[in-house]
Chains A and B, each alone.
Chain A
Amino acid sequence: MGILSTLNPGFVLVALGILTIAMPVRRVRQILTIAAPVLGIFMLSLADHEVNLATANALGIDLILYRVDSLNFIFGLAFLIAALLNAIYALHSDDRLQDGMALAYAGAAVSAAFAGDLMTLFVFWEITAVSSVFLILRAGTKAAYYASMRYLAIQILSGVLLLDGIAYVYKATNSLTIEAFTSLNDPGAMFILLAIGIKAAFPFMHNWLQDSYPKATVVGAVVLSAFTTKLAVLTCARLFPGFDILIWIGAVMTIFPVFFAVIENDLRKVLAYSLNNQVGFMICAIGVADLTTKYGQLAMNGAAAHAFAHIIYKALLFMSMGAVLYRTGTAKASELGGLYKSMPFTTVFCLIGAASISAFPLFSGFVAKSMTMSAVAHEGLIVVWLMLLFASAGVLEHSGIKIPYFAFFGHDSGKRVKEAPFNMLLAMGLAALICIAIGLPSFAGLGYGWLYDLMPYPDVANDYQPFTLSHILTQLQLLVLAILAFMLLKRFGLYPPEKPGTVLDFDWTYRKLGFGFAKWAGTVWAKTGPAMSHVAGSLGQAGFKRLENAFSPQGQLSRGGLTGGMAIWAAALLAAVMLLSFLSMN
């Protein structure tokens, strides 16, 4: 067992991902993509916690390649489960590059999760960016190409900021061990938070997510939904627990996507906004997580549990929309509807994902999100709590109702297609099973108790009771009356119709305004450049001529007098320099 218990399972996934790309035999490739995460889960189960399991030294820097603790364990486990589900979901496709890159991407995320130092984190942070871009590119459209280039640029920028921060940290502390910062005054901390902000899609840094995920392949969007943002959440939790600024960033993140999701027609883009909103809950929880207090620890548990549950139910929702796209050729609400008639199993799985993300009792979101809500309320953050409560109703709107209603029910589009391929149904079924299994009351080590036992602070988690009469009642009130609002708005024609179109977001500033300015500047330069060059050339030529006339051996200054004007001027300058030197010495 020696090497299996001390080798970062992410390394195995990355290596097998590269091997998969080179493997021409489809069946072998399929076995590799499924076996790798299974092996990874087995390896993780053998690892000792709170020990540096693998170390190295490069350029005099001590690297900790594998360290498992109670926080990164739950994220790593979720990544490995997601990698397994993704592999099953992708079995119908015969795409070497996609299969390999998806596995390498998952491996990079797992490796980064278990990295014990910032430099190892940085290396795998960048590998996640480079490997994942192929999942967008493989969609094969012009829009996907442009989106993937923007995605790559923004992700690399995040990496550069991280590296910059690491340099500051190393200069200040002479150590790169991952430890929580105590303030943002250190520029290193600031740069690293910015890097995390990009990857976690903080407000105004979020558009790469909505730009790229909906344009990715059917399988690609499912894979993408699991890793990048949650790796950022984990890194944020490791480095910035209890930073007040995160409370407000997270709260804003939960709110603004709700409004965009209402008017968005592309259902995979709606899910991308929903992802933003969910990550907001986690960031807010990390902000509340003062780890010296019980409720701070509860908040950290909330972030971890939410991330675990979210990785599974968000993958499930992306899978269901992927199946719809795969069968119908579109994921646009205005072109869909009535698909329950031909895709009943996909409909059921989507409804389970919708119930989970909406936090209905007996589904995973209910036992995860409630810890964050309780911690925020306990800290007396009334405005933040109200914002999160608003966002909870918003989640129900865009992911709980809009996704299943407009794809599978609502107006019948008349599309009669085949049910999703068996492998897709199997992946969705397994994800749905997990959503229900961890949402049930705790019994015999199962139900939510299983999840709570894996929390960073299991004692605090197990003290928390999600299934109280009061909590069930208030959550049902919130959800049922929100559903009533939906029904009434639909009945009275107040629900905005789904219309095709592009919804402008903050990326307009660089995709339209910034690009337009660059284009305008280029045009202006193309037109004025030659004229300016001519003027500069003429001026230069005229100046040179004048100097030549004055100073050349045949010039004005060389003519007349006993020794020539040039010699007199040279002597005068020398005298001036000597005088200045003499004065300055005195």
Chain B
Amino acid sequence: MSEEPPIERDTSGRFVKPEGQTAAVEEDDAMHPMAKLLFGWVEAKSTPGILLGAVLLLALGLIAADLLVDRHEYIEFANATGFFGFWGFGAFALAVISGWPLGRLLRRSEDYYGEGDDTPKVHPSEDDA
């Protein structure tokens, strides 16, 4: 017979989590094995924070690198340090932020033109090859 590890309780009789034990993670049985391999890291709660930090550092690094690289753009003001980065940031933010008023102005109901659902039917004869 194998020895069962002792169940630890505190003074009031409640179960205590043994040291090193983590909460059980709900397994996604339908997850593709390759998805776990390629994108398993996406699942971690810390991933968004780490990604943001990494991108921020990379952005700062690229702007710092601009100080070291001697660029000769045809358009004079594009030689300013970090010009492309700031333009990219501003353009992206402008495009996205404009989505708020534009959405209110231009979005209507799904069947606005009265032509029914526009999602194509997958053809009945379509099968896996």
Contacts and interface: CB of A to CB of B under 8 A. Distances in A.
Nearest to A146: B115
B71 to A, nearest CB: 5
Contacts of B108: 501-504
Contacts of B86: 481
Contacts of A393: 87-88, 91-92, 95
Interface in A305-346: 325-326, 329-332, 340-345
B54 to A, nearest CB: 10
Interface residues on B, range: 35 or more
B34 A344 contact: yes
B85 A496 contact: no
A220 B120 CA distance: 10
A499 B103 contact: yes
A344 B72 contact: no
A485 B66 contact: no
Given A95-B125, A342-B32, A263 B107 contact: yes
Interface residues on A, range: 35 or more
A419 B91 CA distance: 36
Interface string A500-529: 111111000001100000000000000000
Nearest to B77: A382
Given A142-B115, A494-B96, A344 B103 contact: no
A342 B93 contact: no
Nearest to B116: A142
21 contacts: A93-B125, A93-B126, A94-B127, A140-B120, A141-B120, A215-B118, A217-B120, A262-B98, A263-B99, A392-B91, A416-B28, A477-B63, A477-B85, A478-B85, A481-B59, A482-B88, A483-B55, A485-B93, A487-B48, A504-B107, A504-B108
Contact of B84 (A344, A423, A478): A478
Given A325-B120, A481-B85, A486 B75 contact: no
Contacts of A347: 35, 38-39
Interface string B11-39: 00000000000000000101110110111
Contacts of B4: none
Interface string A419-446: 1011100000000000000000000000
Contacts of B52: 484, 487-488, 491
A531 B2 CA distance: 103
B88 A325 contact: no
B34 A216 contact: no
Interface string B34-47: 11011100100000
Instruction: Determine the main DSSP class of A at the interface with B.
Output: helix
A331 B119 contact: yes
A473 B110 contact: no
Contacts of A476: 62
Contacts of A220: 120
A511 B112 CA distance: 10
B71 A470 contact: yes
A502 B62 CA distance: 40
Contacts of B38: 340, 344, 347-348
Contacts of B56: 484
B1 interface: no
Given A263-B103, A389-B87, 16 more contacts: A215-B118, A218-B122, A348-B38, A392-B88, A393-B91, A421-B129, A470-B71, A477-B88, A481-B59, A484-B56, A485-B96, A486-B96, A501-B108, A502-B108, A504-B106, A504-B112
A511 B82 CA distance: 45
Given A378-B74, A483-B55, A499-B107, A409 B121 contact: no
Given A331-B119, A397-B92, A485-B96, A94 B85 contact: no
B61 to A, nearest CB: 9
B35 to A, nearest CB: 4
Nearest to A402: B96
